[in-house]
Structure 1
Amino acid sequence: GGPAIVAAAGNGAHKPVPGAGADAGAAFVLESKGTWWHAGFHLTTAIVGPTVLTLPYALRGMGWALGITTLSLIAAVTFYEYSLMSRVLDHCEARGRRHIRFRELAADVLGSGWMFYFVVIVQTAINTGVSIGSILLAADCIEIMYSSLAPNGPLKLYHFIIIVAVVLAFLSQLPSFHSLRHINLVSLLLSLGYTILVSAACIRAGLSKNAPAKFYSLSSSKSEQTFNAFLSISILASVFGNGILPEIQVTKRPKLCG
């Protein structure tokens, strides 16, 4: 774990510092010097992922009215949830317990014991699935670009899977989330660029005289409608179901508290 204890500062204020039993990683993270815009980089790149690119498909499966309503509802619930989580983190930090991991926060709020291990198991399962999916998706995208540039090239999909896995293994050795701030800034700029380009291309295609026929109606098959609705809900849930806020918030400088 990485609990913190309260130590008196020279001016009479108090600030959280690593406890004597904190592991080396926790002690390093608790010395972070990040700012709020660094946290913005991390939070944006944590949410803007492959699932965001599937949002148009989610709206296609639910229809404009239900899709936008569900998207807005889930976004509002997530904003409220993150607001509560942030307040709980601040509350714990003011009392000398600065959590750097979601599982520690859950154990503090819900009680230690089996809840701690339950959160660990759930997080491990989610991280494993996301890691495998991200590697495969990144490798597939690189292969598509490679095939466009070199149609007869010798490299295959498994080569790119190995390359992506090696790069991610290297990045995983960085000592803290704060160490990724420059990489996440580049990722943020790329995401903004992609969004701008795709939006401009869609507007141009919609205004073009030669644009393909538009079809916004749902499928006539009831079973397909049901399947698409559940698939769309799972996409929306995966976009906003992100509990990485404690790890991101702890990259900021510790706040002084009386």
Structure 2
Amino acid sequence: MENENAIAARKGVDDWLPVTASRDAKWWSSAFHNLTAMVGAGVLSLPYAMSMMGWGPGAVILILSWIITLFTLWQMVEMHEMTPGVRYDRYHELGQAAFGEKLGLWIVCPQQLTVEVGTCIAYMVTGGKSLQKFHNTVCPSCKDIRTSYWIIIFASVNFVLCQCPSFNSISFISLLAAIMSLAYSTIAWGASIERGVKPDVDYGYKAHSTADGVFNFFCAMGEVAFSYAGHNVVLEIQATMPSTPEKPSKKPMWKGVVVAYIGVAFCYLPVAFIGYYVFGNSVDDNILITLEHPTWLIAAANMFVIIHVIGGYQVFSMPVFDMIETYLVKHLKLSPSFTLRLVARTTFVGLTMIIGICIPFFGALLGFLGGFAFAPTSYFLPCIVWLKVKKPKRFGLSWFVNWTCIVLGVLLMTLSPIGALRKIIISAKDYKFFS
């Protein structure tokens, strides 16, 4: 009898946790959740990344990243139900299946949390700064307001939205965010074409020395890598879908992923290539700053960024809420309730807001921190799990492709933080806490 009670209690908790609460999502919700998670405001810095890499290497790295991450995402979707009757609803559950109960948790959780919490803090800063840019563009003669206050205004929206109980309940917010990401990306490359190529355009490296060029290149590789962070929420998105042996969730999920990746290519490649083609190495690290006119269009693009970042914050914070609430309910034995959720989530949003206010240059730090976590979780951790669990034939195609991804991913993980750290050291004199 107790066994039945234990099963019923576990089901009750699963039905309450945000990731597994409702499993009736359709393929299209997977498409826009993935698109919202992938296309961050970082897309606007891709022309700048191109200016540090040059035409050939830049194009190769952008397209290669797109192919590798699509392949590793396919592997994760496939592995979601690789054990009959079991669903690996969370990234760390997949890690535990491969590396064991304790080790799997320690390998995956710190990296996944670094990406998700780091992205949430960066989105706080991005949202606040975009609000500030919107205000300054619309009303250039108005009194200047500190970034800190804009971050608080941006956070106030997230305090309300974070109370959405489950992943499925943020579908509409995510859809809106996905549309916005397509909109501001289109404005970025469309306005660049309208502007026309600068007469004195220069595609040479903007470095003062060879060392400068090499470190800038490492840093730019990191910026491209951080454009593909969606792997950290993909299993959690798949968990929201219904699944039976006849109709496994991987079919609609993969359909959604492919649509999302077409959207990603539509956002990234034109912005990166057209932005760099038009402005060359004089492009700013946010192409909307370089494109000052027409004013109303740039103001609209900043507003689209704000709406997108709100949705992105919700998508990245949902797995974090799931981890916090799982710990509180399963380990600390607190009863699942609205009050628990209200306190836990409000605390998390408050903390990300405070860190964002204290360190408004967090984006630069994310380049350094993220190098250790973004590259593994997106580029090669899925490959290691695949080799461990699926055991493909040695020197066969699957074995070779996975090892290639692992080698490239490890190189990326090693080199991009070096470039980012140097950039932080050089720019440190301009950084102001609590600005």
Shared fold per TM-score greater than 0.5: yes
Residue 20 of structure 2 corresponds to residue 29 of structure 1: yes
Match of 1:99 in 2: 88
- Show the counterpart of 1:200: 190
Would you say the 8 A contact 1:30–1:254 is kept in 2? no
TM value normalised by structure 2 = 0.51
Residue deviations 1:140-189, cap 9 Å, x none? Answer: 11011112334324743222111222222322221111111111111111
Q: Is 1:254–2:243 an aligned residue pair?
A: yes
> Aligned pair count?
236
Equivalent of 1:217 in 191, 201, 204? 204
Matched residue, 2:216: 228
1:40 corresponds to which of 28, 31, 34: 31
Matched residue, 1:4: none
Shift of 1:39: 0.6
Taking the aligned partners of 2:74 and 2:237, their CA distance within structure 1 comes to 14
Cα deviations across residues 25-46 of structure 1 (Å, max 9, x unaligned)? Answer: 3487253211001110100000
| Percent identical residues | 27
Q: What's the RMSD between the two structures over aligned residues?
A: 2.3
Name the CA distance, whole Å, in 2 between partners of 1:200 and 1:183.
25
- Cα distance, 1:251 vs structure 2: 2.1
Asked if 2 retains the 8 angstrom alpha-carbon contact of 1:100 and 1:247, the reply is: yes
Asked whether the 8 Å contact 2:35–2:178 carries over to 1, the reply is: yes
Question: Which structure 2 segments of 5+ residues have no match?
Answer: 1-6, 248-435
Give secondary structure in 1 for the equivalent of 2:164.
coil
So what's the TM-score if we normalise by structure 1?
0.83
Deviation at 1:87, TM superposition (A): 0.8
- Report the Cα distance in structure 2 between the residues aligned to 1:40 and 1:67, rounded to whole angstroms: 27
Contact 1:71 1:236 in 2 (8 A): yes
Contact 2:97 2:104 in 1 (8 A): no
| Aligned residue runs from structure 1 range 79-98, under 5 A | 79-92=70-83, 95-98=84-87
Is residue 22–residue 166 contact of structure 2 (8 Å, CA) maintained in 1?
no
Moved more, 116-125 or 77-86: 116-125
Separation (CA, whole Å) in 2 of partners of 1:45 and 1:247: 14
Deviations 1:53-85 (A, max 9, x none): 221111111111001111111211111111111
Contact 1:101 1:246 survives alignment (8 Å): yes
Q: Residue 196 and residue 19 in structure 1: after superposition, are their counterparts in 2 closer, same or farther (change >3 A)?
A: farther
CA distance in 1, matches of 2:74, 2:119: 25
Q: CA separation in 2, counterparts of 1:142 and 1:202?
A: 22
- Give the equivalent residue in structure 2 for 1:182: 172
Alignment partners' CA distance in 1, 2:181 and 2:79: 30
Partner of 1:55: 46
Q: Which residues in structure 2 correspond to 1:141-180 (within 5 Å)?
A: 141-150=130-139, 151-153=141-143, 155-180=145-170
